[in-house]
């Protein structure tokens, strides 16, 4: 089992080689670009390396597959008997990545 924990967009993600991952929008990257991420933990079988805060010499390489928007989230505010109703929607932008290589 080979996996790593990376940090991007103020969040931490557990990633494995070959899997797809949706992260916060990386607007400066174009489709097809390669990205290297900071690694906080890396595990290969029984060998586990924990960073303080990052693992030195370790990196995760990913490629950008697409940019998009997530599902719409509706926010409704309502006060009864006051004729007050507000309906607001939001679609969070994301970047879809394909994890290509985890190296220590």
pLDDT tens, residue by residue, 16-57: 999 999 999 999 999 999 999 989 999 988 889 999 999 999
Q: How confident is the model at residue 1 (pLDDT cuts 50, 70, 90)?
A: low
pTM of the model: 0.83
Residue 13, SS3? strand
CA distance 28 to 40: 23
Q: How many domains does the chain have?
A: 1
Closest CA to 99 of 34, 18, 6: 18
Structure tokens belonging to residue 63? 């490629």
Range of the domain at 61: 2-103
């Amino acid at each position: 089992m080979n996996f790593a924990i990376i940090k991007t967009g103020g969040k931490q993600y557990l990633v494995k080689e070959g899997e797809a991952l949706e992260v916060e929008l990386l607007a400066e990257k174009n489709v097809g670009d390669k990205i290297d991420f900071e690694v906080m933990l890396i595990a290969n079988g029984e060998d586990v390396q924990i960073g303080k805060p990052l693992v030195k010499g370790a990196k995760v390489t990913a490629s950008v597959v697409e940019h998009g928007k997530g599902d719409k989230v509706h926010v409704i505010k309502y006060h009864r008997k006051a004729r007050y109703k507000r309906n607001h929607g939001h679609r969070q932008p994301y970047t879809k990545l394909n994890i290509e290589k985890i190296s220590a």
